Amino acid sequence: MTAPVPSPAPVPALPSGVDPAWLPPAVFRPLGSRRTLIAGTGPLVDTVHGEVAGACDRFGGRVVRDAQEPGAPYDLVLELGEDDPNELGAEGFAVERAGGVTRVTAAGQRGLLYGLFHVVRLGEAVFQGELAREVHCPALSLRMLDHWDNVAVHPVMGQVERGYSGGSLFWQDGRARGSRAELERVRCYGRLLAASGINAVAVNNVNVHETEAHLLTARIGEVAAIADALRPYGIRTHLSVSFAAPVVLGGLPTADPLDEAVRDWWAEATGRVYAAIPDFGGYLVKADSEGQPGPFTYGRSHANGANVLAAALAPYGGTVHWRAFVYDHRQDWRDRSTDRARAAYDHFAPLDGEFGPNAVLQVKHGPIDFQTREPVSPVIGAMPNTRIAVEIQATQEYTGQQRHVCWLGPMWSEALRFRPEGADGPSVGDLARGGGLVAVSNTGDDPFWTGHPLAQANLYAVGRLAWRPDADPRAVLAEWIELTFVPEETPDPARLRSGLHAVLDGSWRTYEKYTAPLGVGFMVQPGHHYGPSVDGYEYSPWGTYHFADRDGIGVDRSQATGTGFTGQYAKPWAEVYESPETCPDELLLFFHHVPYGHVLHSGETVIQHIYDTHFDGVEEVEDARRVWAGLADLVDPARHARATERYEEQLRGAREWRDHINTYFFRKSGVPDARRRRIH
């Protein structure tokens, strides 16, 4: 009996009108015009086969599976099988070129898939000259996107909480997308994610509402259908669940994690999940946070809470991701002793070592909430005996909501390269090895996936930085530009490249300039968080204050005179942040309350810095808009038009920010602008 000849898994077809993002047909030209041998078996090898076959169909190359034609000359060999599987693991691959043959070897199927996309990224270069063997393994084994998608459409928040890209890719009209065409788009999405390095997706909002709670039980079949669509590209599906599920779904009188019936309920429910989805990734939980239920209700710790779910998942190899975003959102602004920045550390650091082996603590990169500028959360460096996942936010909740260009690679890179114990200690990227990198997704059913076409760069960077947290963000951006815009196929590659770098490279700092100054954060409109409102959260229960008065501004978080938050850092950083003299300018108001006349390291006063950066920021947006307009002949017209439209809004918004912030501080400080520009 001979084994059946494996057949290629067809490449999902992009629905009409949907942007190809970083996988336009042209990037497959080098691969598709050559002869490729694929060796190995398994569904993901079939996916690789399909990719190569699709490329060859288009560009005239040939692909052969398992040396059906031995001895034939190949340009590329993609093969499963390795002497030392430990070297490459399930996801790594080796690449080398000798004698005119490029060879990609992987020990696991996913490794082969990533090797294929590596070849695509390198393009012609991978078929030139010789290349000594290089091993590529992901630094973080969990590279995840969290979708804050709801099944039911929320009347205010819309379907995707903090979503700016249309409806959900997964859910529509109250159920999982199930038609052939709809699932095809989910497959396309999985393919894009795989090409960036993502290997896990949580398919529903961490705020688990009533409808969505049932995905865990009665509606697990819908999750399974999504998992089926994502699986061919190596993506495991995770589910956000309610900690109160044993009560809400199981009818138990309690969800106490130490209660035996609760434990049994989770075990049984999880067994049924795995019956439906054998490679299910695990649970994601937001507990005791912003109104979600949690273990505090029963006087239990978050470790108790996480561990009951971890125990249920353990037999199947699943993981629980437990969010550390726990704080008092009913704070009294009059009480200066409570500091929201302290909350995660205060809650979680004492629990180090208490979480089960398959429990991951998912920590936002900053101590507050995805502001444009925050220090790194001290929790990340404070729990050596806990698996830590670092959570970043691709969706631009506080960074322009995909109406403003804000390339976040440099911000994430700064966080991932930060060394909590100082220069000799491990980086945040190192510390996330056990847990991974998780990004809140910025995608939806918008034709450009991310609303603003240039926001695709952020999505792309998530996977690439998770693969290599110490990567140079500028190189990641360059890579994204090559794939997405294929400059070589335009009349002026150099102008296109330099134009795209000009509008993207510094866009985060530009955004920072015209919004809240010097790390103080917030100052956004309450609720939707778009646009300026300096006092929007100043007297609110959310714990996000700036304490501006007629003399100065900022939050004293020092140990000497403030909330003591600086003491949550290891010594080197605790010392740096403790004093305004050593604290970096860009975080000054996060850590200190200073007079408007305080002189920064830059040599400017705080108030003049505010005026200058706000005027500069708007000018930078005007420049970027001009540069973008000048790329019209080199960019796909639909993409160009969409971004042009968004630039109008960004410019309007930047001017509103500039004038609101400058007027506010002029009215409060009474200090005129040294350069006598117009403040209203």
Catalytic residues, by residue number, are 290, 369, 397
Does 3 help bind a copy of itself (rule: CB under 8 A)?
A: no
Which span sits near a copy of itself by CB under 8 A: 17-25, 403-411, 533-541, 633-641? 533-541
Of 123-131, 144-152, 420-428, 526-534, the segment contacting a copy of itself by CB under 8 A is 526-534
Q: Does 534 interact with a copy of itself (rule: CB under 8 A)?
A: yes
CB atoms within 10 A of CB 179: 9
Residues binding a copy of itself: number (CB under 8 A) = 28
- Cα 116 to Cα 77: distance, rounded to the nearest angstrom: 10
- Nearest CA to 143 out of 189, 194, 205, 107 is that of 194
In the complex, minimum distance from the CB of residue 189 to a copy of itself, in angstroms, rounded to a whole number = 29
Residues 6+ apart with CB under 8 A from 157: 150
Q: In the window 541-570, what residues touch a copy of itself (CB under 8 A)?
A: 548-551
Which of 156, 179, 637, 676 touches a copy of itself (CB under 8 A)? Answer: 156
Residue pair 665/610 in contact by the 8 Å Cβ criterion? yes
Site for a copy of itself in 486-525 (CB under 8 A): 525
Could you tell me which of 86, 89, 98, 136 has the C-alpha nearest to residue 115? 136
By CB under 8 A, what part of segment 349-388 binds a copy of itself? none
Asked if residue 155 binds a copy of itself (CB under 8 A), the reply is yes
What is the closest distance, in whole angstroms, from the C-beta atom of residue 268 to a copy of itself in the complex?
Answer: 37
Among 43, 100, 178, 526, binds a copy of itself (CB under 8 A): 526
Q: Which of 519, 517, 527, 515 is nearest to 399 (CA)?
A: 515
Check residue 529 for interaction with a copy of itself (CB under 8 A): no
Residue 532 binds to a copy of itself (criterion: CB under 8 A) = yes
Residue whose CB is less far from a copy of itself, 57 or 335? 335
- Of 428, 425, 434, 325, give the one whose Cα is nearest residue 385: 434
Find the shortest distance in angstroms from Cβ 387 to a copy of itself. 40
Q: Which is nearer to a copy of itself, 126 or 607 (CB)?
A: 607
Rounded Cα distance, 242 and 247, in Å: 10
Site for a copy of itself in 620-659 (CB under 8 A): 656, 659
CB of 51 to a copy of itself, least distance (A): 44
Phi, psi for residue 530 in degrees, rounded to 5: -110, 130
Among 407, 462, 495, which Cα is nearest to 195's?
462
Rule CB under 8 A: say whether 132 interacts with a copy of itself.
no
Own/partner pairs, 376-380, CB within 8 angstroms, 24+ separation: 376/415, 376/418, 376/420, 376/428, 377/344, 377/345, 378/345, 378/349, 378/420, 378/565, 378/568, 378/569, 379/324, 379/344, 379/345, 379/348, 379/349, 380/420, 380/428, 380/431, 380/432
> Given the rule CB under 8 A, which of 301-309, 423-431, 434-442, 528-536 is the region that contacts a copy of itself?
528-536
Is residue 539 at the binding interface for a copy of itself, with CB under 8 A as the rule? yes
Q: Is 337 in the site for a copy of itself (CB under 8 A)?
A: no
> Least distance from C-beta 595 to a copy of itself, angstroms?
13
Choosing from 667, 672, 674, 677, the residue that interacts with a copy of itself (CB under 8 A) is 667
Task: Name the CA dihedral angle for 404, 627, 412, 163, rounded to a multiple of 10 degrees.
Answer: 30
SS3 363: strand
Stretch of 128-136, 265-273, 532-540, 597-605 contacting a copy of itself, by CB under 8 A = 532-540
CB 193 within 8 Å of CB 170: no
Per-residue interface string for the shown chain with a copy of itself, residues 307-336, x marking contact by CB under 8 A: --------------------------xx--
Q: What angle do CA 168, 170, 176 make, to 5 degrees?
A: 120
Helix (H, G, I), strand (E, B) or coil at 438: strand
Q: Give the shortest CB-205-to-a copy of itself separation in angstroms.
A: 18
Report whether 484 contacts 435 (CB < 8 A): no
Binding site for a copy of itself (CB under 8 A): 155-156, 333-334, 525-527, 532-536, 539, 548-551, 656, 659-660, 663-664, 666-670, 680
